[in-house]
Amino acid sequence: MSSPREGSKNTEDEDQGGGFMDKVKDFIHDVGEKIEDAVGFGKPTADVTGIHIPFVDLKTLDLVVDVLVQNPNPIPIPLCDINYLIESDGRKLVSGLIPDAGTLQARGSETIKVPLRLVFDDIKATYEDIKEGSVIPYTVRVELIMDVPLVNKKITFPLEKEGEIPIPNKPEVDLVKVKFGDFSFEETSATLHLKVMNKNDFDMGLKALEYDVWLGDDNIGGAKLSESANIGKNGEGIMQLPITFRPKDFGSALWDIIRGKGTGYSVKGNLEIDSIFGPMKLPFNKEGARTKLKKDDDDDDSDNELAEERFKPNPTVVAD
């Protein structure tokens, strides 16, 4: 058993030890503050400078958020994570985290590109009121998390930007008629009157049309046309596509249409368009429909009750 005097001595030693550790902590804190003052630490800044849609088709939309970050300090700052969320009218479309996003260089600025992807099938399956062809509002929220040296803490920069995104719908097409010109067994010229219907709530600036056409089971040809035209939102237009082919190379379906009986047809291909959301490549496919002959000297358009704007590219398409 220790004496009261020994117990008092132990207490004094503990007090002295605690006082020493407190002095060490105070010293380290003072040194840290002096270092921070010496290097002139300043808070980094971040701002969303732009949002781009580099790719969109019927399945996905890629969104890139440009964030300008400035580091005024003489030391690099690690960028730990990037949290992101895209929502429309308060409903989440997609969210996630990008880990270990890099390092901000000392006394510099750089634009960090945050890539995001929307999958339309997931969105439409979750929210049935979001339809193909519509344009919906969105809000993108991004959080940059930085691990700041010296002050030994993490700083979060919440950023936000609003805009609109499309949910594209493929166009519909109809081969309204095939209008024949010069005819021979060796070579026949014709004009395909193709109606293109824009099923979207945004304008389509047509740049190119790639297509193949079948009459019955006979592929009478295809081509890729470069043509500038505009089809307004939910609008339509007629494209006149000249074509030449060799009738003797084809079967009964072609002869049926030449005799005026009409025949089944299929047409498929892609439209390359410009839009306010960027370029798109939209497929189209029409099968199982029927068309009929219109002679070249017959100018009566009563069987074509259409008032669309007519686009007239002038390619020559040779059937294989």
Q: State yes or no: pLDDT of 299 exceeds 80.
A: no
pLDDT the model gives residue 153: 78
- pLDDT reported for residue 50: 92
Contact (CB, 8 A) for 118 and 138 = no
The pLDDT value given to residue 193: 85
More confident residue, 120 or 313: 120
* Cβ neighbours of 294 (radius 10 Å): 21
Identify which of 30-39, 128-137, 144-153, 191-200 has the greatest average pLDDT.
128-137
Residue 16: what pLDDT?
52
Residue 258's pLDDT is 61
**Are 290 and 262 contacting, i.e. CB atoms less than 8 angstroms apart?**
yes
Dist CA 101 CA 24 (whole Å)? 36
pLDDT band at 141; cut points 50, 70, 90: very high
Judged against a pLDDT cut of 60, whether residue 316 lies above it is answered with no
Spatial separation of the C-alpha atoms in residues 137 and 90, rounded to whole Å: 10
User: Between these two residues, 18 and 255, which has the higher pLDDT value?
Assistant: 255
56 in Cβ contact with 168 (< 8 Å): yes
Residues 6 or more apart in contact with residue 89 via CB below 8 angstroms: 136, 137
Strand, coil or helix: 105? coil
What is the per-residue pLDDT for 315?
Answer: 35
For 40, half-sphere exposure in the C-beta direction (CA atoms, 13 angstrom radius) is 6
Interval 55-97: pLDDT, tens: 999 999 999 999 999 989 888 888 889 999 999 999 999 999 9
pLDDT value of position 253: 63
pLDDT at 241: 81
Spatial separation of the C-alpha atoms in residues 266 and 248, rounded to whole Å: 20
Query: Mean pLDDT throughout 280-301?
Result: 68
| Residues 172-219 pLDDT 10s | 998 887 777 777 777 778 788 889 999 999 999 999 889 888 877 778
Q: Are 195 and 306 in contact (CB under 8 A)?
A: yes
Query: Using one digit for the tens of pLDDT, what is the confidence trace for 2-17?
Result: 454 455 445 455 455 5
Mean pLDDT in residue range 158-183: 88
Give the closest residue to 164 by CA, choosing from 275, 6, 295, 297. 275
Which residues are CB-contacts of 23 (< 8 A; sequence separation ≥ 6)? none
- Rounded to whole angstroms, how far apart are CA atoms 68 and 48? 6
Delineate the domains of the chain, giving CATH numbers in brackets.
45-166 (2.60.40.1820), 172-311 (2.60.40.1820)
Q: Taking 50 as the threshold, does the pLDDT of residue 47 lie above it?
A: yes
Euclidean distance between the first and final Cα of the chain, in Å? Answer: 111
Summarize pLDDT for 227-284 with one digit per residue, the tens: 778 999 999 998 888 787 777 777 666 666 666 666 678 889 999 999 999 999 999 9
In this structure, are residues 102 and 146 in contact, taking their beta carbons and an 8 Å threshold?
Answer: no
Q: For 128-147, what is the mean pLDDT?
A: 94
Q: What is the pLDDT of residue 198?
A: 97
* pLDDT at position 122 over 90: yes
Strand partners, 282: 271
Most confidently predicted of 70-74, 129-133, 152-156, 240-244: 129-133
3-state SS, residue 305? coil
More confident call, 263 vs 131: 131
The pLDDT confidence band at residue 38, using thresholds 50, 70 and 90, is very low
Integer Cα distance of 75 and 107 in angstroms: 7
